[in-house]
Structure formats: C-alpha cells, structure tokens
C-alpha cells in the first residue's frame, strides 16, 4: 500500500511539472523580398534577377510599391502591406522596406508589386485581386514620362508544411510595349537626322493588372479592358529636336531601361490601320513613316518592336520585327 501511494504521488508530481512548463517561444520571421527571373519555358517579360539598372533606380529615389493580404481561419483578405515602398540598400546589397511585417503562421499570403512606386496613383482591390495604376502619361517631350511600368504577383501558403518563409520572389513583368528605331545608312548618307518624334498613338491611360499580374491581348487600344484611355489620341511628340549626326554605315540605336535614348516606351494598343506616324527630318527634308500600315497589328505588353529605318540618297524605307522585351543585351530574334 505504501509503495502504491508513493507511486501515485510521484506520477502526480510529474504531471504537474509537465503542465506547468511553458511552450517554447517561436521567434517571428520577417517578410522579405527579392527580384526574380522566370523559371518558365522560353523567354519571359521580366526584369532579370539582380538587375543593376533596377537596383540603381531603387537605391536613388525610385521604389517598388508592394501590397500583401492574408487569409486563414481568422483573417479574410486582411491587409498586411499597403503600398509600402520597397527600395534597394546598396550598403547591404538587399531590398528593404518599413515598417517590417512578419509572416502569419498557417495563413495564405498574396503579394502584388508595381514599379515605379507611386504614393497616390495606385490601389489594390483585395477581393478581386485587381491592382490599378491611374494617371499614366507616356510619350511626351518630358523624358521622365518615358517610363516602363512593371507588375509582379506572388503567393505563399504557410498552411503547407513545406512552404518557405524565405524572401518572396518578385517576377516583374513589363506592362508596356517598347519601340526601338534603328537607322541604317545604306548609301554612305551623312546628313543629320533631326526632329525625331512620334504622334497619333494612345499615350494617356490607367492600367488594371489582373491577379496574374499580366496584361494580355489588345482590342482597339484597350487591353482586356485593363487599359482605360483617359485622353484622345492627340499628338504626342518624343525626342523632338533630337538628332543623329554623321551617321556611319549600319549604325543602330541603343536602349537603356531608364534612359530610353533612341527607344520609346508606349502603352499597349492596336495600331493596324491607325495614323501613327514616326516623323523625322533628314537633312532639310521632313519625312514620316505611318506605322499603322506596316505588318504589325498591335503593340503588346512585354514586346519590343524593332523598326529598322533604311536611308538612301533618295528613299526612306522601314521594316519591323517583334521580339520579347527582356534586356537590352538580348539577341534580337523574331518571336515565332
């Protein structure tokens, strides 16, 4: 009997000790981001991982706007990040934002990002997953308006035991189209090419990015009803007064993502049958090329349209190829 009593006391004491132990403290894990390259097949409309131009821009005033919502048994489309400004810190060579937010265990996290950052002209509808950027104006003589808008979406479901809390990849995709004009001097032509401009195209609009972060298809200047024109197809000159002098044979223009000298960022739109003119003056002779009669029906998001303008002593001709807009060093191979 005495042995049984002592055993019971011992078990009770052990049970109490177990019940009074505290659960281990789980340290909160901060949400972080990184730029990413698509793992999809073939070419993609993305900013290459660790792109130096993007990093430099976001280290000197530019930024990427980021939104995040969470869903679990407690939260329904609860806002976690609301247009926070993601910038690049060169001192630590990493992307940063304030204030830091943390992963919610067991919850599904959805993220949206748009470049460039705007404090006032962007909004997210957490129910539909539509990210809207208003008041876009492209194609003016102000170089600051020649902007490449990009969008990314990403998800992480921590209800999955295998899900990581590592940096969220932001696969930024070009929402705009890029026009590149190459000049070929076929006959030793050396007169200056001046007053380069483009007009007659859609240049004011608002964008609405679908949940996949991509704009697809074009119907009469409206991309899946996600591009909303906010102005008439009024004249919009670019690079007017710029010139190319002493053109060597087979010279071609270059493209810089944030400088765009010789290349023009435009809104996706239908161009077939439109009066969209690329104007230039060769020597003292004004000329124009109607891009609407060339064999390109539309300018699509993430595509680069390379127009080659060939000059001779008596003629100006133009042809065009379409490639994926990835990076300025990419080999220009027509998209099949």
Arithmetic mean of pLDDT, 171-181 = 84
At residue 144 the predicted structure's pLDDT band, cuts being 50, 70 and 90, is low
pLDDT tens per residue, range 38-80: 444 333 344 444 567 778 888 888 899 999 999 999 999 999 9
User: Is the CB of residue 67 less than 8 Å from the CB of residue 211?
Assistant: no
Rounded to 5°, the CA angle 116-117-123 comes to 115
pLDDT tens per residue, range 227-281: 766 655 544 444 444 555 544 444 443 333 333 345 778 888 888 888 888 888 8
Q: 9: exposed, middle or buried (C-beta count within 10 Å: 0-12, 13-18, 19+)?
A: exposed
Domains of the chain: 33-174 (2.60.40), 177-324 (2.60.40.2630)
User: Is the CB of residue 219 less than 8 Å from the CB of residue 270?
Assistant: yes
Parallel, antiparallel, or unpaired for β 168-170 and 33-35?
Answer: parallel
| Statement: residue 313 has pLDDT above 60 | yes
pLDDT score, position 258? 30
pLDDT score, position 212? 79
Parallel, antiparallel, or unpaired for β 150-157 and 108-115?
Answer: antiparallel
258 or 17, which is more confident = 17
Arithmetic mean of pLDDT, 204-217 = 79
Give the Cα separation of 88 and 50 in Å (integer). 10
Indicate the average pLDDT of the chain: 75
CA 66 vs CA 92, 105, 278, 311: distances in Å = 20, 20, 36, 46
pLDDT tens per residue, range 72-129: 999 999 999 999 999 999 999 889 999 999 999 999 999 999 988 999 999 999 998 9
At residue 327 the predicted structure's pLDDT band, cuts being 50, 70 and 90, is low
């Amino acid at each position: 009997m005495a042995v049984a009593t002592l055993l019971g006391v011992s078990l009770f004491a052990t049970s109490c000790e177990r019940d009074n132990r505290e659960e281990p403290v789980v340290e909160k894990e901060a949400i972080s981001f990184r730029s990413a390259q698509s793992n999809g097949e073939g070419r993609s409309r993305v900013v290459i991982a660790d792109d130096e131009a993007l990093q430099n821009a976001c280290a000197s005033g530019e930024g990427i706007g980021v939104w995040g919502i969470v869903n679990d048994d407690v939260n329904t489309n609860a806002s976690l990040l609301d247009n926070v400004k993601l910038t690049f810190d060169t001192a630590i060579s990493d992307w940063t934002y304030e204030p830091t937010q943390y992963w919610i265990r067991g919850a599904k996290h959805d993220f949206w990002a748009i470049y460039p950052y705007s404090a006032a002209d962007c909004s997210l509808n957490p129910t539909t997953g539509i990210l809207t950027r208003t008041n876009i104006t492209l194609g003016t003589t102000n170089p600051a308006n020649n902007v490449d808008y990009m969008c990314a979406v990403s998800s992480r479901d921590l209800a999955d035991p295998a899900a990581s809390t590592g940096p969220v990849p932001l696969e930024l995709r070009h929402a705009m189209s890029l026009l590149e004009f190459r000049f070929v001097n076929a006959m030793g032509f050396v007169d200056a090419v001046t007053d380069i401009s483009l007009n007659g195209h859609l240049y004011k609009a608002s964008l609405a990015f679908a949940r996949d972060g991509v704009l697809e298809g074009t119907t009469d200047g409206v991309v899946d009803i996600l591009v909303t024109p906010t102005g008439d197809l009024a004249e919009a000159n670019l690079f007017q007064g710029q010139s190319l002098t002493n053109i060597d044979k087979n010279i071609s223009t270059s493209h810089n993502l944030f400088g765009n000298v010789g290349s023009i960022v435009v809104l996706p739109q239908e161009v077939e049958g439109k009066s969209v003119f690329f104007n230039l003056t060769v020597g003292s002779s004004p000329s124009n090329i109607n891009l609407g009669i060339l064999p390109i029906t539309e300018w699509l998001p993430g595509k680069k349209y390379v127009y080659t303008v060939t000059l001779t002593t008596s003629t100006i001709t133009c042809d065009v190829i379409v490639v994926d807009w990835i990076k300025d060093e990419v080999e220009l191979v027509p998209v099949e």
